[in-house]
Amino acid sequence: MSLSGIFPIDRWNFTTQSILNVLSEQDYSDLVANQSDLKYLKGDVVFREGSVPAGIFLIRSGKVKKYKVDSLAKEQIIYVANHEELIGYHAVLSGERYPDSAAAIEDSLISFIPKEDFISILHRSPAFTQRLLKALSHEFTVLTNSISVIAQRTATERLAIALIVLREKYKDEDSDVQDIILNISRMDLANMVGIAQENVIRLLKEFKEEGIVETDGRKIWIKDIKRLIKKSNYK
Amino acid sequence: MSLSGIFPIDRWNFTTQSILNVLSEQDYSDLVANQSDLKYLKGDVVFREGSVPAGIFLIRSGKVKKYKVDSLAKEQIIYVANHEELIGYHAVLSGERYPDSAAAIEDSLISFIPKEDFISILHRSPAFTQRLLKALSHEFTVLTNSISVIAQRTATERLAIALIVLREKYKDEDSDVQDIILNISRMDLANMVGIAQENVIRLLKEFKEEGIVETDGRKIWIKDIKRLIKKSNYK
DNA sequence: TTTAAAAACTGATAAATATCAGCTTCTGCG
DNA sequence: CGCAGAAGCTGATATTTATCAGTTTTTAAA
């Protein structure tokens, strides 16, 4: 799962994608018995920091950003969740309010599962519980990684890392196209990397001049992943 | 548990301190049956990033920093664990190598519990598993918080927050002294806050001139927690 | 108690990043 | 299609933070 044999991409992704695989057919159908499917348009909020969780969300298709909003209205994106990922379950498990918010960054189809059903399956299936423990522990690795990078790396390195991670998320499984197109705003990029939006633009320009990326309007093509990894200065 | 009714201190602390309370007497004694107590001197490494976990650690007394070392040998402190806290269990649960390192920041007494015993109790006690799920979910809140603050706040605000959080950890439960003394090096502070050590010193000087802290050699007294919270600009 | 190493501290300067104001280009909607 | 609002872009400047090259103080070991 290592990208180009150098960049440890698995340290940047949660593994919630396969969580539900450990459920028996019966357990799975019980879990989703009362689910409701909802369409979210780009920008729509799924849940908001500080509110009380009523259940968990399973992303059927699309992409969702998890973020915190600072007192000064500055947004920090913590993670971008992909299709098949589970979100919003931490707060249910810890019995707290949501510590972050979630919003669709592209049109998404998301199933809502009431927390009672989630908890009931959790009590019934030790395998599911074990799988969740494993997933949460892996998340710890991912967040730990993020803290260290945000605190210690330069803006250029951080942007490079963000692009590498996003490339993986935007890679369509069944196509072998080399140039992956990222469909993400400069603003969202800035909020992932923790720098000003203007600086994202300037750094992208730099990458463009070096042939690492190409842009057309708001689209971003990754042209040279090898040099992007070099830019990221990873390990 | 809210500090001065303003600063949400619980968002900065893991809740592993009470994890073992849910165990029955039998389970607890089985868990610690093969434990070995070890003394760690200030600076001693407990485990190192990248190594394979053989068990978990229970801090009996003292304080331990969890940190990542960057490629350029820069250290980022992720968390400071206090007595009664459990560390090193994520890697056991996720089946990965340690994603971070741990080292004593003061002389500590730490019990090592073999991973087989930990996992066996985990399988035996659903209450323990639930408690761990809860703890891990809460950790998610704490790390999320850290990411947002490190990425978005100024050095002054971050240092203020670090001091508030440390004050809580250095507060002796059975004394009602107002001035809490922090026993932490400027370097460790710098590595928590993600700024240069020289700037920690300059900011501390500023705080000193404003009567918020006092220092004597490497000791730091928190004199005015209210103004420190104001400095942190929290919420 | 002396002393060498480590940690704390200082001022000057360099580098990185943010902010601001304005301009241009996209994009979706009537 | 045309148009308004949003997003992208640019250059100048301000601000923040890091780096460097020391000096002083503290600590712990001989």
pLDDT tens for each residue of A27-71: 999 999 999 999 999 999 999 999 999 999 999 999 999 999 987
Minimum Cα–Cα distance from B133: chain A residue: A133
Answer whether residue A1 shows pLDDT above 60: no
Q: What is the pLDDT of residues A68-112, one digit of tens each?
A: 998 777 899 999 999 999 999 999 999 999 999 999 999 999 999
Which residues does residue A219 pair with via DSSP β-bridges, in sequence order? A216
Residues of B in contact with A152 (CB under 8 A): 70, 72, 74, 76, 194
Whole-number percent of chain A with pLDDT over 90: 83
The ipTM is 0.93
Buried b (16+ CB within 10 A) or exposed e, B101-128: bbbbbeebebbbbbbebbeebbebbeeb
Residue with tokens 């093969």: B34
3-class DSSP assignment, residue B211: coil
Is the predicted pLDDT of residue A174 greater than 80, yes or no? no
Judged against a pLDDT cut of 80, whether residue B16 lies above it is answered with no
What is the per-residue pLDDT for A217? Answer: 85
Position B35, amino acid: Q
Question: What confidence category does residue B2 fall into, taking pLDDT thresholds of 50, 70 and 90?
Answer: low
Task: List all nucleotides in chain D with at least one atom under 7 A from a protein Cβ.
Answer: 7-12, 16-21, 25-27
Query: Are A68 and B145 an interchain contact pair (Cβ–Cβ within 8 Å)?
Result: yes
Nearest by CB to A152, which of B74, B94, B129? Answer: B74
* pLDDT value, residue B127: 92
pTM of the full predicted structure?
0.94
**Per-residue pLDDT at A72:** 74
3-state helix vs strand vs coil in chain A, percent to 5? 45, 25, 30
B-chain CB neighbours of A140 within 8 Å are 90, 94, 99, 136, 139-140, 143
User: Exposed, middle or buried by CB within 10 Å (0-12, 13-18, 19+), for A199?
Assistant: middle
Q: Scanning every residue of chain B, which has its alpha carbon at the shortest distance from the alpha carbon of A144?
A: B78
Within 39-98 of B, beta carbons closer than 8 Å to A belong to 68, 70-72, 74, 76, 78, 89-91, 93-96
